[in-house]
Amino acid sequence: MIEIITDKKEWSAQLAMVEHADFYHTYDYHHLSKNDEESPVLIKYTDGLTALVLPLLVRHIENSIYKDATSVYGYVGILKIHIEAKFNKADFHKELNDYFFKNNIIAVFSRLHPYLEESESILDGLGKITPLGKVVNIDLTEPIDLQRAKYNRRLKTYLNKSRRSCSVFEGNIEEHLETFMQLYANTMERIDADESYFFDTDYYYKLLTSKDINSKLMLCRHNKTQKIIAGAIFLKTGRIVQYHLSGVNEDYLELQPIKLIIDEMRIQATNKGYKYFNLGGGKGSKEDSLFNFKKRFSKNFKEFKIWQHIVDKRAYKTLSENHLGTQVESDEIHRGYFPAYRSPLQIISSFLFVIEGICLQI
């Protein structure tokens, strides 16, 4: 049986029954992340004692009767409340697919959670699962000194210098939110980040005050000037700490304050019994300078994957061809930007696109 949940109380009640979930799955994060055209839903499948939940954002496809569905930015996928030994995956796939088809949802996309590997085994066989790259994890079950011993040698030097010049402390909304917002915005402008990486005040406020989301704003102060020179937001759920957003004053880049903030959070999270500290991956899941920055902390990697499912191939093909202005062959239907009918036209070249990894938007 398929049930659609949109009520916050019921959504939260379902997640409370999941052994391992993350803040990305919550009602609040979905409503915080959605745009005006998207409707958050929690799809629940039950069969006997088996119960699965899949959070998605559903939206209409312009100039058509159809819809599609995507996940929020981050790591999501499907969650199990309970799976019986007699669970029939094929029956689940058929019922979920029938629901999508009957509701004119022609394509579905989700970024799978690299720390909750059950998503892949449950969805395998329905659509396509594609590995995109690595994310960096610090194993917080190891002793604090052993974690640091695995740091890149240059990173240790940077941290020693930074600790002599700076202090890390926990910020609060009333005193420090405006400062952090400015640090973050300036950083995004400096690196010429995509518009989707910029947020309004309401986003930060709700993120830091939501009862569904255990957030912490960490700031770095320059000891000599007493100026706040960097900040980061971390989000903690169950066994996992996520490095979410950060910004730094470019005049103090040589002090490496973000590295110091991450190191301090590592120590705190270890002392509080967390298991994973996810630093994420590179831009577009590539092994770029951002990825190299993160892997100086750890060589413990998790694989990040996405799930793409075309429910109605005929409708998908028609919409894609109308959008692209060219014929789409059946063997090309999963290639490149997904879904093809939402691809930015300026990057089109004979229907061959560069996958943008975690930044890819369905």
What span, in angstroms and rounded, lies between the C-alpha atoms of 241 and 265? 9
Report the pLDDT value the prediction gives residue 335, as an integer from 0 to 100.
Answer: 67
Report the pLDDT value the prediction gives residue 93, as an integer from 0 to 100.
Answer: 98
What span, in angstroms and rounded, lies between the C-alpha atoms of 337 and 342? 8
Q: What is the pLDDT of residues 130-177, one digit of tens each?
A: 999 999 999 999 999 999 999 999 999 999 999 999 999 999 999 999
pLDDT over 60 at 40, yes or no: yes
pLDDT over 80 at 58, yes or no: yes
pLDDT range class, residue 351, cuts 50, 70, 90: very low
> Is the Cα dihedral 248, 252, 254, 255 positive or negative?
negative
pLDDT over 70 at 359, yes or no: no
Give the chain's domains with CATH numbers: 2-134+304-359 (3.40.630.30), 136-302 (3.40.630.30)
Report the pLDDT value the prediction gives residue 165, as an integer from 0 to 100.
Answer: 97
Say if pTM beats, i.e. exceeds, 0.75.
Answer: yes
- The percentage of the chain sitting over the pLDDT mark of 70, rounded to a whole number, equals 93
Q: What is the pLDDT of residues 273-302, one digit of tens each?
A: 999 999 999 887 788 899 999 999 999 999
pLDDT over 50 at 104, yes or no: yes
What span, in angstroms and rounded, lies between the C-alpha atoms of 319 and 329? 13
Instruction: State the residue for tokens 């069969």.
Output: 47
Report the pLDDT value the prediction gives residue 345, as an integer from 0 to 100.
Answer: 67
The letter for the amino acid at 251 is: D
Q: Which residue has the higher pLDDT, 356 or 310?
A: 310
Listed in sequence order, the residues at least 6 apart from 27 whose beta carbon sits closer than 8 Å to its beta carbon are 8, 11, 12, 40, 42, 212
**Coil/strand/helix, residue 236:** strand
**Range scoring the smallest mean pLDDT among 30-44, 145-159, 207-221, 314-328:** 314-328
Report the pLDDT value the prediction gives residue 353, as an integer from 0 to 100.
Answer: 31
Q: Contact, 277 vs 269, CB < 8 A?
A: yes
Report the pLDDT value the prediction gives residue 344, as an integer from 0 to 100.
Answer: 84
Element (H, E) at 240: strand 240-248
Rounded to 10 degrees, the C-alpha dihedral 155/160/163/164 comes to: -140
Q: Which residue has the higher pLDDT, 191 or 82?
A: 82
Please compute the mean of the pLDDT values over residues 47-67 and round it to a whole number. Answer: 97
